[in-house]
Structure 1
Amino acid sequence: MIARARQLSVVVIVLCGAVGVMSSTQVWLHVRLTGAAAHDLTVNGAVAIPVLAPLGLAVLALGVALSIVGLVLRYVFGVIALAIGVAQAFLAAQVAFEHPTSAVARTVTDATGITGDAAVAALVDTVTTTMWPAITIAVWVILCAAAVFVLVTARRWQATGRKYRTDAAPRASAGPLDAVDSWDELSRGDDPTRDDDPR
C-alpha cells in the first residue's frame, strides 16, 4: 500500500479537482420567484460559490504536481489540499442546507434587475437543491481524507524518477556518451565535451 501511496494520492486528488470543476457548471439550485416576477430560475455551482471552479483547478494542478515534488513540498501541498477541502465543503454545505441569499442574488438580479440582499430575499419564494451540492460535499470530504493520507505517508513515498532530479549520481561508466547521457550531463551542469584528463 505504501509503495503505491504517491500514485493513489495523485489519482484521488486529481479526480476530486476534476469533479469540483465539473460541478461548477452544473445546476445546484432551482429558485422560484414570487409576486409579479414569479418564474423559475436555475443557479449553477459557479454562481452559488464563485471560488468553486478556481479552487477546483488549483486542486487539479496540486495533484499533478504531487507526482514529482520532494518531501517538503509533499507536506506543503498536503496542507493546502486539506485547507481547500475544508473550505469548499463548508461553503457547499452552506448552499445546500441554508440557501443563503448571496448564492442566488446574482441570478435573481440578472433576471429582474433588482439588487440588494433584502430586496432579492423578498422576491424569492422557494429554493430547492439538486444532487450536485451533496456530490460536491462528498468530493471535498474525500479530498480532505486524501490530504491527510498524503501528510501521514509522505515520508515513506518512493523517490521521484531520475528525470526529475538534478542531483543524480555522476555517470558510472567511463565509456563514450550517447545523446541521452550527454543531455543528462548537461542537466547536472556538467559539460560532456570537456576533457578532464590532465594529459
Structure 2
Amino acid sequence: MTQLLSAEALDQLFIRARSHNAWLDQSVPDALLSHLYDTLKQGPTSNNCCPARFVFVRSDAGKQQLLPALKGHNGEKMLRAPVTVIVAFDSEFYRYLPELFPAYDAGAPYRDNPQAAYVAALRNGSLQGAYLMLAARALGLDCGPMSGFDNALVDATFFADGRWKSNFLCSLGYGDHTALRPVGPRLTFAQACRLA
C-alpha cells in the first residue's frame, strides 16, 4: 500500500483532471454511485466520525427541486449533468460514534456543544466531499463542484428536519472535454507553503 502511483493515475486524479461544466449525454448507473460511496467512505475522518451525507440528485423531479437554489449559470450546469450530489453533513453525527468508534465515548465533546459539533461536522464532511471527488475520478467519472447556491433553500427543500446541512454541490458524469476552458494557474510552492 506504499507504492508510488503511476504518472497516469496521478494525471487522472490531479494533474490532468478538470472541473467540468458541460456533460456528455451518458447516464451514471446506480451501481456506480453505490461503488463510489463504498470507495469514498474509507477515507479518514477524526475518530471515524463520518459526518458527510450525500444526496444524489438525478431524477427530473429532484433537479427541479434543486434548481431554485442555484445561482447564475449553475442551474443550467446542474440540469445538464447526469447527477448532482448535495454534499451535506449530519449535525448530530455523534449519535453514530458508539458504532463507528467504540473505543471510548468520542461523542461526549459534541452532545451538549452544538458549536463544536458544527465545526467537526463541517471540517470532516468537507474532507469526505473531497474524497467523493477523488473516488469519482478514480472510478472514471468527471466532477463539477459548485458553491454558488442558497444553502438555506437547499436545506429547507431537502432536509426539512434541520439535522442535515448542505455544504457544497458536485455534479458527476462524463465531461465534455471539448467544452473545457484553459487550465487556470496555481500558486507556486514558495507562494503557498512554508517549511517550519
TM-score under structure 2 length normalisation: 0.31
Higher radius of gyration, 1 or 2: 1
Higher normalized helix content (fraction of residues): 1
Higher normalized strand content (fraction of residues): 2
TM-score under structure 1 length normalisation: 0.31
